Structure 1
Amino acid sequence: MKEYSFILLSGGIGKRMQLNIPKQFLLLAGKPIFIHVLEKVDEIPEIKEILLPCPVEFLLKTEEIIKDYGFSTPIHCMVGGASRQESVYKALCEAKYENVMIHEAVRPFVSKEEFHQLLYTEKESAIFGLDIPFTVLQGKNQVEGILQRDQLVNVQLPHKYPTKRLLYAHECAREDNLEFTEDASLFFHYYQSPISILKGSEYNIKITKPIDRKIAEAIYKDTILMEGS
C-alpha cells in the first residue's frame, strides 16, 4: 500500500468573496468549508499526514477550528506562501511520504470515491478534469485565435504525484522564475511525461465568488437528497 502526504491549500483571504475572513472559514451546513474536506480525508488510511498551508494571520484560528473536530490523521498547519505555487512548494518541503496528493480547501464536494479513484489509478501522476462545454477563443481585447475545446480540459483537484519529482519541478520553477496556476501544468512543463486525467464531477466546484456560495448550498441539498433516496 502506497503512503501519502496530503496538502490542503488554504491560502485564500476572501478578497473575491468581498469578506474580511478567508473563504475556507465560511459555513456550509454549519461547518467551515475546509472541514468537509478534512472529514473525508481523515477516513482514508493511505493518507498518513495532512499539511495545511494558510495565511499567517489565520494560522491560530485554523488550528483552533481543527482541534474542535478531533481528527485522527496528524495535521500540520503552516504558514503558506505569497502565491498558490509557493504554498505548495513550502508544503512539499515538509512532506514525509513518497507520494503526495493535493486539494483545495474550498472544494468541499470532492467525494471519498474520487479520492479512492486517484489513489488506485495505475499512473503515478493523475488529476481530475472535465470537458469544456463552451467555445474558447484566444485573445484579450480582440480575437486572436480559436482553441479547439475537444482538445482542452478543465482542470479540477485533487491531484497526485511522486513527492520528490514534484518538489524538483517546483525547485526548477523557482530557479526559472516561472509561475503556474496549478501543479499539472508545472509538472508537465518540466517532465513532458503523461499525467492521467480522470473524469471529474460537475459537483466538485471551487467556491471563490459570492454566487458560488448559493450554488454550494444547492449542491449540498441535492447531495443530501441523493444520499437519502
Structure 2
Amino acid sequence: MSHYSFILLSGGIGKRMQLNIPKQFLLLAGKPIFIHVLEKIDVIEEIREIIIPCPQDFVEKTMETIQEYGISKPIRCINGGESRQESVYNGLKEASFDHVIIHEAVRPFVSREAFKALMETDNENAIYGLDIPFTVLKGKHVIEENLERDQLVNVQLPHKYSTKKLLYAHECAREDKLEFTEDASLFFHYYKSDIQILQGSEYNIKITKPIDRKIAEAIYRESILMEGY
C-alpha cells in the first residue's frame, strides 16, 4: 500500500466573493467548506499527512478550526504563496512521502470513493476531468482559432503525482519564470509524459463566486441522500 502526502490548497482570500475572510471559511450546511474535505480525508488510511498552504494571517485560525472539528491526521498549516503555483510549491517542499494528492479547499463535494479511485489507478500521475459540453473558441477581441471540444478537458481536482517529479517540475517553472493555472499543465510541460484522466463529476464544483454558494447548498441537500458523501 502506497502512502500519500495530501496538500489542501487554501490560499484564496475571497476577492471574487467580495469577502474579508478566505472563502474556505464560509459555512456550508453549518460547517466551514474545507472541513467537509478534511472529514473525508481523515478516514483514508493511505493518506498519512495533510499540508495546508493558507494565507499567513489565517494559519492560526485554520488550525483552531481543525481542532474544533476533531480531525485526527497529522496536519501542518504553512504560509501559502502569492499564487496558486507558489502555494503548491511550498506544500511540496514539506511533503514527507513519495506520492502526493493535491486538492482545493473549496471543492467540498469530492467523495471518498474519488480519492480511493485516484490512488488505485496504475499511473502514478492522474487527474480528474470532464468533457466540455459547449463550444470553445480561441481569441480575445476577435476569433483566432476553432478548437475541437472533443479534444479538450475541463480539469478538476483532486490530482495525484510523484512528489519528486512534481517538485522538480515546479523548480523548473520557477527558474523559467513560467506560471501555470494548475499542476497537470505544469507537469506535462516539462515531462510530456502520460497523465491519466479519470472521469470527473459535475457535482465536484469549485466555490469561487457568490452564485456558487447557492449552487453548493442545492448540491449539499441532494448529496446527503447520496451514498458516500
Scaled by the length of structure 1, the TM-score of the pair is 0.98
Is the deviation greater in 15-24 or in 218-227? 218-227
Q: Which residue is 1:86 aligned to? A: 86
Q: SS where residue 100 of structure 1 aligns?
A: strand
- The range that moved more, 63-72 or 205-214, is 63-72
In the alignment, the residues of structure 2 paired with residue 121 and residue 132 of structure 1 have an alpha-carbon distance, to the nearest angstrom, of 23
The one-letter code sitting in structure 1 at the alignment partner of 2:201 is S
**Post-superposition shift, 1:227?**
4.5
Aligned AA (2:124):
E
* SS of alignment partner, residue 224 of structure 2: helix
CA distance in structure 1 between the aligned counterparts of 2:224 and 2:98, rounded to whole angstroms: 36
* Code of the aligned partner of 1:186: L
Q: Distance in 1 between matches of 2:139 and 2:226?
A: 41
Corresponding residue for 2:58? 58
Distance 1:76 1:169 in 2: 23
**4+ residue segments displaced more than 2 Å:** 225-228
1:225 to partner: Cα distance: 3.0
CA–CA distance in structure 1, aligned partners of residues 16 and 223 of structure 2: 26
Residue 199 (structure 2) aligns with: 199
Deviations 1:176-213 (A, max 9, x none): 00000000000000000000000000000000000000
SS at match of 1:159: strand
- What is residue 182 of structure 2 aligned with on the other side? 182
Residues 72-112 of structure 1 show CA distances to partners (whole Å, capped at 9, x for unaligned) of 21000010000000000011001000100000000000000
Q: Match of 1:211, SS?
A: helix
Q: How does 1:4-15 map to 2 (within 5 A)?
A: 4-15=4-15
Aligned mates of 1:77, 1:172 — CA distance in 2: 25
CA distance in 2, matches of 1:218, 1:129: 22
Match of 1:104 in 2: 104
In 1, Cα distance between equivalents of 2:226 and 2:99: 33
Counterpart mapping for 1:8-47 below 5 A: 8-47=8-47
Paired letter, 1:46: E
Counterpart residue identity of residue 137, structure 1: L
Q: Give the Cα separation in 2 of the matches to 1:117 and 1:52.
A: 22
Distance apart, 1:43 and its partner CA: 0.6
| Offset at residue 46 of structure 1 (A) | 0.3
**1:226 Cα deviation after fit:** 3.4
Q: CA RMSD in A?
A: 0.9
Matched residues in 2 for 1:198 and 1:44: separation?
A: 19
In structure 1, the residue matched to 2:172 is: 172
Taking the aligned partners of 1:183 and 1:68, their CA distance within structure 2 comes to 31
Distance 2:16 2:99 in 1: 32
CA distance in 2, matches of 1:217, 1:18: 19
Which letter does structure 1 place at the counterpart of 2:210? P
> 1:66-77 to 2 correspondence within 5 Å?
66-77=66-77
Q: Quote the Cα distance in structure 2 between the aligned partners of 1:190 and 1:133.
A: 29
Q: Which runs of 5+ in 1 are unaligned?
A: none
Aligned-partner Cα distance in 2 for 1:22–1:91: 18
